Amino acid sequence: MKLYDTLSQQFQQAGIAYLDIEDLLCTSFVIIDDLYKEFVPQSIQHRHGPDSCFSDSEVLAISWVGELLTIDSENAWCSFVKKQFGDLFPHLPERSRFNRRRRNLWKVTDFLRQRILGMLPSDDILLVDSLPVPICDFKRAYFSKSPLKTEALNGLQATYGHCATKNLGTFLGFRVHLLLSQEGLPLTFVVANADIDDRDVLPQMIESFLNTIVIGDKGYVSDPLRQELKVTYGIDLLAQKRSNQKNPYPPWVKRTINRLRKRIEVSINQLEDQFHLAKVRARTHWGLLTRISDKFAAFTLGAFLNRCLGRPLLALKALAFA
């Protein structure tokens, strides 16, 4: 919270309500570097090999801000930073080396994202949902030679799934499962094969969120799952009931669930429209996980900056394009 107090006080004294790209890069670097030096293990900070003039914090700051600015091309973003902000990053490596550093830091990215989340408001009501991530058009799926179709060491691979919404139908790819706060802030996520049921992924997502209420859509309807979560984790699962189900919720519960479900739909639309989460430009599982981690980290960083600026948490597009 010390970092939040310092930044918010500085912004208030200077009368700053918005950040241009240069200020966004500089402020993001300060936040990331402060957290990196304080929390990242020394074994990672001083790992084997020659020291680089370009720090890990600079790699992460450039990567996260690029995602926040909706720039989906790594080549275009690196070229832009080198041309326009070469004085800020005089030791910026060439693109392939930069991207290797970025991929090597994907676990550090998620670790720092969790630290930033700790400085944002939390509550006892959580929202759960998933969104499809196709790797190509369905008409090209059978003939695709993407390495993502092969199984990775952790069992992750592009498989066929079905999505009744978003005009997709059957698709080849993955699903990103999300657990969000009541304000719509992503707390944790899991990338899974598209043919895995949402209810099978939920238990491993909520192990760290005991004694809470989790609200989901009709895809999470399951009495055995509801009982398991209640007994094992003390979690109450409230899933939207189908029209033909017995024992419907009282009207006020239905209204509350529907209102909160709108919040998660807004957040998912932001992730799809501004952060291009459903657009795969990676060729390997490693690259896919890196890009997805960077997108969620950028989302969280933007929410934290908005809080420091005294703006609505999820007004991310206004922050990036003010």
Please check the confidence at residue 153 and state whether its pLDDT lies above 80.
Answer: no
pTM of the model: 0.94
Options 3.40.190, 3.30.70, 2.40.360, 3.30.420; CATH for 125-280 is 3.30.420
Q: Where are the domains of the chain?
A: 2-118+311-320, 125-280
Q: What is the mean pLDDT of the chain?
A: 90
**Between β-strands 213-216 and 236-239, what pairing exists: parallel, antiparallel or unpaired?**
parallel
Report pLDDT for 157. 93
Lowest mean pLDDT of 49-53, 85-89, 93-97, 251-255, name the range. Answer: 49-53
Please check the confidence at residue 243 and state whether its pLDDT lies above 80.
Answer: no
Cβ atoms of 198 and 220 closer than 8 Å: yes
Report pLDDT for 268. 92
More confident residue, 152 or 278: 278
Q: What is the mean pLDDT of residues 154-168?
A: 87
Nearest to 187 by CA among 207, 172, 171: 207
- CA–CA distances in Å: residue 240 to residues 226, 259, 262, 268: 13, 12, 13, 18
Angle at 199 between CA 196 and CA 205, to 5 degrees: 95
Give the containing element (helix H, strand E) for 123: none
Please check the confidence at residue 322 and state whether its pLDDT lies above 60.
Answer: no
Tens digits of residue pLDDT in 49-77: 777 889 999 999 999 999 999 888 888 89
Percent of the chain with pLDDT over 90: 55
